[in-house]
Chains A and B, each alone.
Chain A
Amino acid sequence: MKKHLMILLAAILSSSIILSSCSKDEAEAPTVTAPTATTEVEEGLATDVTFSVSVLGGYASGAVAAQGGTAAIKTEPADGATSGNVVVTFTASNTPGAASVTLTVTDENQKTHNATALLTVKEEVLIIPVNGNITSNTTWKTGKTYILKSRIAVMDGVTLTIEPGVVVKGEAGNAANATALIVAQGGVLEASGTPSQPIIFTSIADNIQPGQIESPNLDPSLNGLWGGLIVLGKAPISYAKDGVDAATTNIEGIPANDPNGIYGGDVSDDYSGTLKYISVRHGGTNIGEGNEINGLTLGGVGSATVIENIEIVSNQDDGIEWFGGTVNVKNAIVWNTGDDAIDTDQAWAGKVENIVVINPGDKCFELDGPEGSYTSTGHTIKDATVFVGKAGGLIDYDDNTDVNMSNIYFLDFDSETLEDDGIAISGYSGYQANTNGFASSAFEVTVTLPTGVALTDIFTGGSDAITTEVSAGAATVGADLTKFANWSWAAVAGELD
């Protein structure tokens, strides 16, 4: 109804313009119309206000004045135009309350008219829902909390910048309703936290506020409360489909019929962004069919991508899992996963250095090789300290695992698990027999063996040959734990002491 009225009005208006335009000189004074609705703007932020103008004498100039903020003309009609819009950018002050913008238009006959648009400056919104895929460059601001309402993808060609200290919370939901942040192929995530202001990805259940490290209410063993962080790139993967090498495939953890789950390609130095000082917690929910999301999933992520200082706490599935790609990761700590802590697949050709693993649900390292005929230079795992706890295994090698592994220190075994014969390295002999030059070396272990259990029962398949028993505090290999001090929850909670 309203729309029809507007059209009618516009028709009358335009016909009157046509009728009267023949006599421009003695034209009526211009008319400025302000928006009827009150525009709302958050304190300190800018918004656009659009005035429509009718200038029978020809548009000459406009001037703005503002209350409760500042205003500037963004766009205006061409000189001499008889009608059009003037868009004014209003930047709110830091005081919530009423505000206004007044636009004065002058025509070529120096006749003027003005109108005032009303605005309300609102208090800063600290909790912001994210409802749909990110399709244009976006910045998530320091001090704020962003709520993922569903599976959110940063689309191809789009950059999401997350400032230090931001907290991202995934809404509760299972299966189709599971929430996650996906950086799709071609999307970029610029998330550089700092040691004092890490970026935290957690569940809506977490009452953590920007600036906090430890959750005020959640136990570090709680998992599966939301999805996880998935980064997908265009670097090579070793995957075979239909027996033929396939350059791309769909990532696990999101349904195969979601096109934003594609990863893999031929861009070795692909860039998916920067991830620094990030803690991902309580994730890994089931999306159905036994398909869970890892804490940090890296699918075909290229070597130009920077990933450093990453913490995963209590993920229902794996901690960090690489599916091919060429990205390097430095300083990673994985605490209390439901499944494996560190998981590699599809001929990942990168390096992860300085790793801490604490009490995983299954394997500490689940290491696989190529799945297709493409092989890479393999990956490197170096300088790790593993607090074994109740883990279901130390390292699971396959015959074609393409890893070079060195300087790994295992300690803090659970005595009951040892008695039950429940923890060991598996597949070592098959892996060691490889002819591609992959090798593991310099393992150290501090363990009190129960009666009837020998070191070779744990370090099986000949892996005892690369393992040295050391007494507590005498290890010469392992991670530099100081890299995790202050910013990681595990360190703050005393797990590294």
Chain B
Amino acid sequence: MQVTKKIIILPLLFLATIVYSQKGTIRGSVFDGETGEFLPGVTIFVEGTTSGTTTDLDGKFSLDLKPGIYKLRVSFVSYAILSIDNVEVKEGEITLLDNLKLVETAIKLEETVIRASVIRNTEAALLTMKQKSANVIDGISAIGLRKIGDSNVASSVKRITGVSVEGGKYVYVRGLGDRYTKTIMNGLDIPGLDPDRNTIQMDIFPTSIVGNIVVNKSFSADLPADFTGGVINITIKDFPDKKEANFSVGAAYNPNAHFNNNYLTYEGGKTDWLGFDDGTRDIPAISNIPFFADVISQSDPVNSTYGLRFKEILKSFNPIMAAKKQKSFMDYSIGSSYGNQFKAGKFTLGTIVSLSYKNNTDFYDNAEYGRYGLVSGNPDITELEKREQIDGSYGVNTVLWSALAGFALKTKQAKYRINLMHIQNGESKAGIFNYNKTNLGTTFSGFQHTLEYTQRSLSNILLEGKYATPNSNWNIEWKFSPTFSKIESPDVRFTRYEDRNGKYSIGTEVGFPERIWRDLEELNLSGALHITKDFKIKERNAKLKFGGAYVFKERDYNIRSFAINIRGDVNLTGDPNEIFEEGNLWPYMGNTSSGTTYEAAFIPDNPNQYNSNVHNAAAYLSLELNLLKNLKMIAGLRVENYVQRYTGQDQLKENVLDNDIVLDNIDYFPTINIIYNVSEKQNLRFSYAKTIARPSFKELSYSQIFDPISGRTFIGGLFKDENLSTGIVYWDGKLIKTDIHNLDIRWELFPGAGQTLSISGFYKKFINPIELVQYARVPGSFQPRNVGDANVYGGELEFRQKLSSFASFLKGFSLNVNFTYTKSEVELSEIEYNSRVGNARTGQTIDREREMSGLAPYIINAGLAYDGGKNGFWKDLEAGLYYNIQGRALQYVGIADRPDIYSKPFHSLNFNGSKKFGKKSQYKFGLKVDNILGQEKESIYKSFKAADQNYSRINPGTTVQVKFSYSF
């Protein structure tokens, strides 16, 4: 409530501070050509006037001048003076001089002047940062984001070297899955929206609010230590350079999904379009729930207190169980953002407000899910046998909106910021599938309807302060950010009929209908303090950085489910809505043995309820030295004390934990990064660091979570797996952390003008990595376990080239290609090895190693972009063709007679173009085509000398999107 109030007040506040002036403004920023960092305290002097200013602690400046043409001198002690000619100031307008580069000079007596004409804003700063940073980083800036025209961060981030995005949401860095990739916002931990993931989904961030995205692939002591692939830092804008007000509308059409009469949906609530349920899907009761057995034990079951309550609960179930066909609408989106900065005396005020809404409709026709296995007892048969097949169609409607309000205030020496953000996401799914199951020679067939709704919300507040001493030798920065997130899946409905020669039945062979409510709430308090001191050792720059961080997280998790039975003489027609039809509810026709009944699975004890919390306290020290003129080194040490506690119980209540410690480690994370400037445009880098991956809340639990759609069960890592009579312990229930040693080398060439060539190599050693292992005794059950140690080797190649250097008619074209290759080896545990040997087909040899699960062997990103420039016929036209592929990755590790499951490469080819119109280029029209090749997303079972069989297959189709925006 408080949050919304502030969102309203902030813009009002700013309206009052707008001062009308006859002058124009020059704004800009200055960075150190040596380090890529922004320089505070730089003098900006306007030649021929008495006007001048100095840059603030962010290296930014602002000057109000009368309209005219000026010449600026940018100077700073021991740096060469930068002179800029022909800077035009227009009345009431802002001239941007972003990213002015100052170069340090050894010659002190003589003034070195570098002349520059007005520089167009490019990714120069980020590239310099990348070039000069001691860490291995890659990134994409606000300008880059604007240029590509992606609407959300998920589509943008995959253009970064070594980054790929799974399912349009989750980021992989260097092919390493989300267990080893971390997402932080404004440098602080943020909880994910999905309990099954360690990272946050990226498609929830609209690009309009993002300042930049930086991917750190090597560890430095000031970063959290729990990543190895990369840490992705999404920075939300604070001070827009000039007034940015923007309104946009967009629409997309997919011939598969839109205006399709076969689209599947179900009736939801009145507020589904806002991304949350209005109570239509509320659970009928969470207490005072009589069992059917309680009811019928009464002397007058129907009119007893229990009976009346039982009927009341039955009637309060939403009666819809069937998916229905309904013509679908297209995707549409609407967004608006406003940002500006103002001067009020000594203070600069910055504000940013953004609202975005998007409504997407997807339809997957002929989706397919299969379960296959090896034929037991006869190794000569290599072909896989089909055990279960589900195929059909499902429709998904996704609503995503976000609201953000940021307010920042700064003086030359201090900066404060408050940022409020809310993200709301609702996803409604409905599907109808055919079902076939074979169990020891007996075949069942039928069909199923599944209805699902998931709502996710995330509210975040960021408070930030930054101080610099006048001579800017000391820099202090603090941040504090509470986040509250919620995920609810209210009323997942699942109905499966068995079809016996046209007669429909519901029974044990195919499973009873279920209704499931899942709730997750998480509170995350995150804070950090960074102190930096710049000094000189033997005339060479050095930097000392130290600080600390603290994260507290608490999660409440709960699954409540009802098993539904339709008893007695009710004649079933195959329409799932008949189950909760009033006339079919217990007592059917007054018969107390007939009709629809429920059993609450969460009473009296609910093993799928837990509370977990984490305290993670960290401190670090990092020293940056220029050992030689061309050799820079950063060495650091971070220490983290991580304590995770769990409250919950197993099914039989044999193990009851009450805020008991399940993980308690003090870890030291040393890191060393060395950068050698071979020449001005060439770097050689080396880095070593130790990092960590820890089991998640869900993994360190006793939960057993069944997914009715995939038929898979997740078994918490605290469960032991042992055979009491043989004494064999397969899993001891002790899930521990993974230690990772990382080695990186990189050679980079920066031929200039935004062009890059880099080659990297990396090696990672995983000690006790965690993987999801299939439970041998129960088909389709998975448990996280520490498996054998793993090694990952890899290489990366990045190439950015302007094509005008090859031929003049290629002016405006640029090519951006990056390629990542990885090779992994996991030492098989004894159990897995024996299992593979036991199941080997005739002629198959089993290695002691296999590839690591979730790791893509290669990633290719390629983009051909065109920029029409500021003048001429193609003025303000930007277009690009982007290709992305991720190699075949081991998705689920096979065990026993269940073979390995791989995700198949998906060739993603997208086109993106935009053209601006109008006097001030204020109108923009964009066109985007996704999945031009019309590829299908597939996962397959692979086995020795066997034909590949489908694990899952969906067809997303090709989507054409148009977008129109107006800036004012």
Indicate, yes or no, whether A interacts with B. yes
Residues of A within 8 A of B (CB): 150-151, 172-177, 185, 203-207, 217-219, 221-226, 234, 240-244, 247-250, 255-260, 262, 265, 284-286, 288-290, 292, 316-317, 338-339, 345, 361-362, 366, 368, 371-373, 392, 396, 398-399, 420-422, 427
0/1 per residue, B705-716, Cβ < 8 Å to A?
010000001010
Within 8 A of A (CB), among B642-692: 650-653
Of the stretches B41-49, B339-347, B502-510, the one at the interface is B502-510
Q: CB-CB < 8 A to B726: which residues of A?
A: 247-248
Residue of A nearest to B444 (CB): A362
Residues of B within 8 A of A (CB): 291-297, 299, 301, 374, 376-377, 379, 440-442, 500-503, 505, 507-512, 561, 563, 565, 567-568, 591-593, 599-607, 650-653, 704, 706, 713, 715, 719-726, 775-778, 781, 834-835, 838-840, 895-897
Q: Is the pair B651, A262 in contact by a Cβ cutoff of 8 Å?
A: no
Q: CB-CB < 8 A to A242: which residues of B?
A: 776, 834-835, 838-839, 895-897
**A286 is contacted by which of B377, B512, B713, B725 (Cβ under 8 Å)?**
B512
Q: Is the pair A177, B897 in contact by a Cβ cutoff of 8 Å?
A: no
Q: Mostly helix, strand, loop or mixed at chain A's interface?
A: loop
**B838 is contacted by which of A217, A243, A260 (Cβ under 8 Å)?**
A243
Listed from nearest, the 10 A-B pairs whose CB atoms lie closest are A172-B291, A242-B838, A175-B601, A290-B511, A205-B293, A172-B293, A219-B593, A174-B599, A205-B297, A176-B651
Residue of A nearest to B712 (CB): A289
Q: Mostly helix, strand, loop or mixed at chain B's interface?
A: loop
Q: Is the pair B723, A259 in contact by a Cβ cutoff of 8 Å?
A: yes
Q: CB-CB < 8 A to B301: which residues of A?
A: 217
Say how far B604's CB is from chain A's closest CB, in angstroms.
6
A203 to B776, alpha carbons, bound, how many Å? Answer: 33
Q: Is the pair B725, A241 in contact by a Cβ cutoff of 8 Å?
A: no
Q: Is the pair A243, B379 in contact by a Cβ cutoff of 8 Å?
A: yes
Residue of A nearest to B593 (CB): A219
Q: Is the pair B507, A362 in contact by a Cβ cutoff of 8 Å?
A: yes
A217 to B293, alpha carbons, bound, how many Å? Answer: 11
Q: Is the pair A174, B500 in contact by a Cβ cutoff of 8 Å?
A: no
Q: CB-CB < 8 A to A422: which residues of B?
A: 500-501, 503
Q: CB-CB < 8 A to A373: which residues of B?
A: 377
**B563 is contacted by which of A218, A286, A338, A420 (Cβ under 8 Å)?**
A286
Say how far A301's CB is from chain B's closest CB, in angstroms.
15
Q: CB-CB < 8 A to A421: which residues of B?
A: 501
Residue of B nearest to A368 (CB): B440
**B296 is contacted by which of A217, A258, A262, A338 (Cβ under 8 Å)?**
A217
Q: Is the pair B561, A371 in contact by a Cβ cutoff of 8 Å?
A: no
Q: CB-CB < 8 A to B725: which residues of A?
A: 185, 234, 248, 262, 265
Say how far B782's CB is from chain A's closest CB, in angstroms.
12
Q: Is the pair B652, A150 in contact by a Cβ cutoff of 8 Å?
A: yes
Q: CB-CB < 8 A to A338: which residues of B?
A: 507-508
**A316 is contacted by which of B291, B508, B721 (Cβ under 8 Å)?**
B508
Q: CB-CB < 8 A to A289: which residues of B?
A: 511, 706, 713, 778
A241 to B730, alpha carbons, bound, how many Å? Answer: 14
Q: Is the pair A224, B507 in contact by a Cβ cutoff of 8 Å?
A: no
Say how far B762's CB is from chain A's closest CB, in angstroms.
35
**B601 is contacted by which of A176, A234, A247, A284 (Cβ under 8 Å)?**
A176
Assuming the contacts A243-B897, A257-B719, asked whether A177 and B601 have C-beta atoms less than 8 A apart, the reply is yes
Q: CB-CB < 8 A to B509: which residues of A?
A: 339, 362
Q: A286-B512, A290-B508 are in contact. List 19 more A-B contacts (CB 8 A).
A: A151-B652, A173-B599, A173-B604, A174-B601, A175-B561, A205-B292, A207-B297, A217-B297, A241-B896, A243-B379, A259-B722, A259-B723, A284-B508, A285-B599, A368-B440, A371-B440, A372-B376, A392-B500, A398-B440
Residue of A nearest to B777 (CB): A256
Say how far B780's CB is from chain A's closest CB, in angstroms.
8
Say how far B563's CB is from chain A's closest CB, in angstroms.
5
Q: CB-CB < 8 A to B565: which residues of A?
A: 224
Residue of A nearest to B840 (CB): A243
Q: CB-CB < 8 A to B650: which residues of A?
A: 257
Say how far B579's CB is from chain A's closest CB, in angstroms.
16
Q: CB-CB < 8 A to B500: which residues of A?
A: 392, 422
In the complex, 6 of the A-B residue pairs with CB atoms within 8 angstroms, ordered by the A residue number, are A151-B652, A217-B301, A221-B593, A225-B292, A225-B293, A241-B838
A285 to B775, alpha carbons, bound, how many Å? Answer: 23
**B603 is contacted by which of A177, A243, A366 (Cβ under 8 Å)?**
A177
Q: CB-CB < 8 A to A226: which residues of B?
A: 293
A455 to B775, alpha carbons, bound, how many Å? Answer: 46
A255 to B775, alpha carbons, bound, how many Å? Answer: 12
